[in-house]
Chains A and B, each alone.
Chain A
Amino acid sequence: MAAEAVAVSIRKVGKRFGNVAALDDVSLDIRRGEFFSLLGPSGCGKTTLLRSIGGFEAPTEGDILIEGRSVLHLAPYERPTNMIFQHLALFPHLGVRENVGFGLRMKGADRAASARRVEEALRLVRLEDYGERRVDQLSGGQRQRVAMARALVNDPAVLLLDEPLGALDLQLRLQMQEELRRLQRQLGATFVFVTHDQGEAMAMSDRIAVMNAGRLQQVGTPAEIYERPANRFVATFVGHANMIEARLTGRAAEGLAEAEGPAGLRLRGIAPPHGATDGGVLAVLRYEKLRILPHGADGEGIGATVVEKTYMGSSLRFACRTGAGATMTADTPNAMPQRDIGEGDMVRLAWSPEDVVLLTD
């Protein structure tokens, strides 16, 4: 990666609050023009990392560079970043237009020019007719967009978003996700987006950093995170997967390896790096990658019995017990032929080795 393509560089950053390590040795590079998400459970340090970039927390270790320059010594008002706060923090004593124009006014920008830019920003978030309103006269989604306009009008090098959609209902949330994505593409700006919602992160991001307990777990594209989870945490936090404790029995061609699970279950999957294990591995197989076939289909896969069938609208979930006694779960579209399979039915379970990831941790 060329150095000038990096918008934000986090280098070995640590942050302690008393005994709590909110961030522990976090290093990552966020590229210019990228929609980058920080994903992780509550309390994992997402907000702390974002606030460190914005200048609201001082890391206890490490360095943060924006556009190649260390910003640790800069106050928030000196940094080329703008933040959209979790609870928006719109100024209640100012109207929509004054809220949006606040940043330009503080920088003493030319009045006529800022008025034009404010109108432009309002148009960008489709609020051109709301400039005169007070902020408490707006709906949740509209307030959201005012916050967006208020940040974007300053043309920040990096826009920081702390779960800005958290308070919205599902419909509005999906709508605003699209809106955000549209804005980011249109402006080509760098967005750093905090969320604990994996679906949101998947749908919106160019790349995702998964965090847990202050530590970085994995950085990658949504597909990399989902298809090739780096460890047990990522595999469980993102999506649903069968997790089977197994022992490595041998390596095969094309980066695959053989493993043996409980009750003699034989698994072939993507091999862990050489020397990373003394033999114990975790086989990860996504629910929807496990195919469930009616009994009597040609000899593919292993025999099993359906223990539980769960109706989930667009999909169906089958919990099955294999002949040897292992439990495996499969998600299928709510369609033929799986729709007619019921609890207690004999089925066959099949999967491709490329869909099984063997993890050492």
Chain B
Amino acid sequence: MPRPFPGVRPIGKPFWLMLPGVAWLLVFGLAPVAFMVAVSFWRSSIFGTTPDFVFDSYARIIEEPLYLDLIVKTLRMAALTTLLSLLVSYPLAWFLATRRGAWKAVWLVAVFVPFWISYVVRTFVWLPILGRNGLINQSLMALGITDAPVEWLLYNEGAVYVGLVYVYTLFMTLPIYLALGRIDPKLLEAAADLGARPWQTFRHVVLPLSWPGVLSGCIMVFLLAVSAYVTPRLLGGTSGIMLGNMIASQFLSNNNWAMGAALSVTLVGIVGALLLVTGRWIGIAEVFTGGKK
């Protein structure tokens, strides 16, 4: 087995050094998941949820189209959010990676500083922009393009995409930017020297070499979007609702913990399976090891 740090000889086996990490993983990682799985098998009635081991909640998820439809819709929305983020992020990352000198720092700050602000706030800002009396409607009417406010800007699926892409785009931009930054500029010259036109250089050198960044960005954004709660809540209205909202309401208003837990477990299961399948397909190890085999 290759050692992680070639040239550094391990001194005995200081397994106790791993204890804090392992403990953390058990207490804050595995325990909540185990608890959630357990709760999903509890029995729920109008009086609340009681510990048990029944498959009621899972049965309902399979039987009632309401749940399955929402799961499919959530996966679809997460996928589309990921795609849109990629389309926004790749050019942005390329732009950042190709800046030089003092301006580079300025651009980086301009892009990344907004992300220090809570994503809740950054979601809220879309209300005065997309709203009935918001910036866009005011502008449209001031310019005489429309007489009355456009109603479909907010409280639907489209508004959720706007919010999600805006809030999570950094998680796509950053890994792509880093991957692009690692590409040796000499390779681009070499490609040009060998007769590759600019788009061919992009297609055959830049894109494949930034692929690990693209993959990790996609996985991040997909994971974040599939579990979105705040954005659909604030911007989505009733038609833009996602599974996260349904799960929350099971816990908070329906007092049906078992159902909430079962929905969570189902989502985690599906996403995990998806990751495994795509992992097989595109070599997920590359994503986590930075492309080194």
Q: Residues of A with Cβ closer than 8 Å to B?
A: 54-56, 75-77, 81-83, 85, 87, 89-93, 102-103, 105-107, 150-151, 154
Judge whether B69 is part of the interface by a CB distance below 8 angstroms. no
Once the chains bind, are A85 and B204 in contact (CB under 8 Å)? no
Residue of A75, A81, A106, A107 near B204 (CB, 8 A) is A106
Judge whether B146 is part of the interface by a CB distance below 8 angstroms. no
Question: Bound complex: CA of A151 vs CA of B191, how far in Å?
Answer: 11
Given A77-B197, A102-B196: 8 more A-B contacts, CB < 8 Å: A77-B192, A77-B196, A83-B193, A85-B190, A89-B187, A93-B208, A105-B204, A107-B195
Once the chains bind, are B189 and A106 in contact (CB under 8 Å)? no
Residue of B186, B193, B205 near A76 (CB, 8 A) is B193
Task: Tell me, rounded to whole Å, the shortest Cβ–Cβ distance linking B191 to chain A.
Answer: 7
> What residues of A have a CB within 8 angstroms of the CB of B204 in the complex?
102, 105-106
Task: Name the residue in B190, B196, B197 with the highest tally of chain A Cβ atoms < 10 Å from its Cβ.
Answer: B190
Judge whether B46 is part of the interface by a CB distance below 8 angstroms. no
B74-114 with Cβ < 8 A to chain A? none
Q: Nearest 6 A-B pairs (CB), nearest first?
A: A103-B194, A89-B190, A89-B186, A76-B192, A106-B196, A106-B195
Task: Tell me, rounded to whole Å, the shortest Cβ–Cβ distance linking A309 to chain B.
Answer: 44
Output the nearest chain B residue to A150 by Cβ-Cβ distance: B194
Judge whether B50 is part of the interface by a CB distance below 8 angstroms. no
Once the chains bind, are B190 and A91 in contact (CB under 8 Å)? yes
Task: Name the residue in A82, A93, A107, A154 with the highest tally of chain B Cβ atoms < 10 Å from its Cβ.
Answer: A93
Residue of A89, A92, A154 near B189 (CB, 8 A) is A89
> What residues of B have a CB within 8 angstroms of the CB of A87 in the complex?
186
Task: Tell me, rounded to whole Å, the shortest Cβ–Cβ distance linking A314 to chain B.
Answer: 38
B162-206 with Cβ < 8 A to chain A? 184, 186-187, 189-197, 200, 204-205
> What residues of B have a CB within 8 angstroms of the CB of A81 in the complex?
193
Once the chains bind, are B186 and A106 in contact (CB under 8 Å)? no
Judge whether B248 is part of the interface by a CB distance below 8 angstroms. no
Interface residues on chain B, size class: 10 to 19
User: A75-B192, A92-B209 known; A85 and B186 CB under 8 Å?
Assistant: yes
Once the chains bind, are A154 and B195 in contact (CB under 8 Å)? yes
Task: Tell me, rounded to whole Å, the shortest Cβ–Cβ distance linking B205 to chain A.
Answer: 6
Task: Tell me, rounded to whole Å, the shortest Cβ–Cβ distance linking B225 to chain A.
Answer: 29
Once the chains bind, are B184 and A89 in contact (CB under 8 Å)? yes
Once the chains bind, are B208 and A82 in contact (CB under 8 Å)? no
Once the chains bind, are A77 and B186 in contact (CB under 8 Å)? no
Task: Name the residue in B193, B196, B209 with the highest tally of chain A Cβ atoms < 10 Å from its Cβ.
Answer: B193
Task: Tell me, rounded to whole Å, the shortest Cβ–Cβ distance linking B71 to chain A.
Answer: 37
> What residues of A have a CB within 8 angstroms of the CB of B205 in the complex?
91, 93
Question: Bound complex: CA of A81 vs CA of B192, how far in Å?
Answer: 11
> What residues of B have a CB within 8 angstroms of the CB of A107 in the complex?
195
Task: Tell me, rounded to whole Å, the shortest Cβ–Cβ distance linking B208 to chain A.
Answer: 5
Question: Bound complex: CA of A252 vs CA of B186, how far in Å?
Answer: 56
Question: Bound complex: CA of A193 vs CA of B195, how far in Å?
Answer: 21
Instruction: Give 21 pairs: A residue, B residue, CB < 8 Å, sorted on A.
Output: A55-B192, A56-B192, A76-B192, A76-B193, A77-B192, A77-B193, A77-B196, A77-B197, A82-B194, A83-B190, A85-B186, A89-B187, A90-B190, A91-B190, A93-B205, A93-B209, A102-B191, A102-B194, A105-B204, A151-B194, A154-B195
Question: Bound complex: CA of A63 vs CA of B126, how far in Å?
Answer: 57
Task: Tell me, rounded to whole Å, the shortest Cβ–Cβ distance linking A150 to chain B.
Answer: 7
> What residues of B have a CB within 8 angstroms of the CB of A76 in the complex?
189, 192-193
Question: Bound complex: CA of A154 vs CA of B191, how far in Å?
Answer: 13
Question: Bound complex: CA of A106 vs CA of B196, how far in Å?
Answer: 5
> What residues of A have a CB within 8 angstroms of the CB of B190 in the complex?
83, 85, 89-91
> What residues of A have a CB within 8 angstroms of the CB of B187 in the complex?
89, 91
Task: Tell me, rounded to whole Å, the shortest Cβ–Cβ distance linking A278 to chain B.
Answer: 49
Task: Tell me, rounded to whole Å, the shortest Cβ–Cβ distance linking A212 to chain B.
Answer: 26
Task: Name the residue in B192, B194, B197, B209 with the highest tally of chain A Cβ atoms < 10 Å from its Cβ.
Answer: B194
Question: Bound complex: CA of A151 vs CA of B196, how far in Å?
Answer: 13
Task: Tell me, rounded to whole Å, the shortest Cβ–Cβ distance linking B210 to chain A.
Answer: 10
Task: Tell me, rounded to whole Å, the shortest Cβ–Cβ distance linking A101 to chain B.
Answer: 10
Once the chains bind, are A56 and B191 in contact (CB under 8 Å)? no
> What residues of A have a CB within 8 angstroms of the CB of B184 in the complex?
89
Output the nearest chain A residue to B194 by Cβ-Cβ distance: A103
> What residues of B have a CB within 8 angstroms of the CB of A92 in the complex?
209
Output the nearest chain A residue to B200 by Cβ-Cβ distance: A106
Question: Bound complex: CA of A102 vs CA of B193, how far in Å?
Answer: 11
Question: Bound complex: CA of A87 vs CA of B191, how far in Å?
Answer: 14
> What residues of A have a CB within 8 angstroms of the CB of B186 in the complex?
85, 87, 89
Once the chains bind, are A103 and B195 in contact (CB under 8 Å)? yes
Once the chains bind, are B195 and A77 in contact (CB under 8 Å)? yes
Question: Bound complex: CA of A152 vs CA of B189, how far in Å?
Answer: 17
Output the nearest chain A residue to B192 by Cβ-Cβ distance: A76
> What residues of A have a CB within 8 angstroms of the CB of B208 in the complex?
93
Task: Tell me, rounded to whole Å, the shortest Cβ–Cβ distance linking B214 to chain A.
Answer: 13
Once the chains bind, are A154 and B209 in contact (CB under 8 Å)? no
Task: Name the residue in A75, A85, A89 with the highest tally of chain B Cβ atoms < 10 Å from its Cβ.
Answer: A89
> What residues of A have a CB within 8 angstroms of the CB of B209 in the complex?
92-93
Output the nearest chain A residue to B184 by Cβ-Cβ distance: A89
Question: Bound complex: CA of A91 vs CA of B190, how far in Å?
Answer: 9
Task: Tell me, rounded to whole Å, the shortest Cβ–Cβ distance linking A106 to chain B.
Answer: 4
> What residues of B have a CB within 8 angstroms of the CB of A82 in the complex?
193-194
> When each residue 197-229 of chain B gets 1 if its CB lies under 8 Å from chain A and 0 otherwise, what string results?
100100011001100000000000000000000
> What residues of A have a CB within 8 angstroms of the CB of B192 in the complex?
55-56, 75-77
> What residues of B have a CB within 8 angstroms of the CB of A55 in the complex?
192
Task: Tell me, rounded to whole Å, the shortest Cβ–Cβ distance linking A73 to chain B.
Answer: 15
Task: Tell me, rounded to whole Å, the shortest Cβ–Cβ distance linking B164 to chain A.
Answer: 31
Output the nearest chain B residue to A75 by Cβ-Cβ distance: B192
Once the chains bind, are B193 and A54 in contact (CB under 8 Å)? yes
> What residues of B have a CB within 8 angstroms of the CB of A93 in the complex?
205, 208-209
> What residues of B have a CB within 8 angstroms of the CB of A91 in the complex?
187, 190-191, 205
Output the nearest chain A residue to B196 by Cβ-Cβ distance: A106
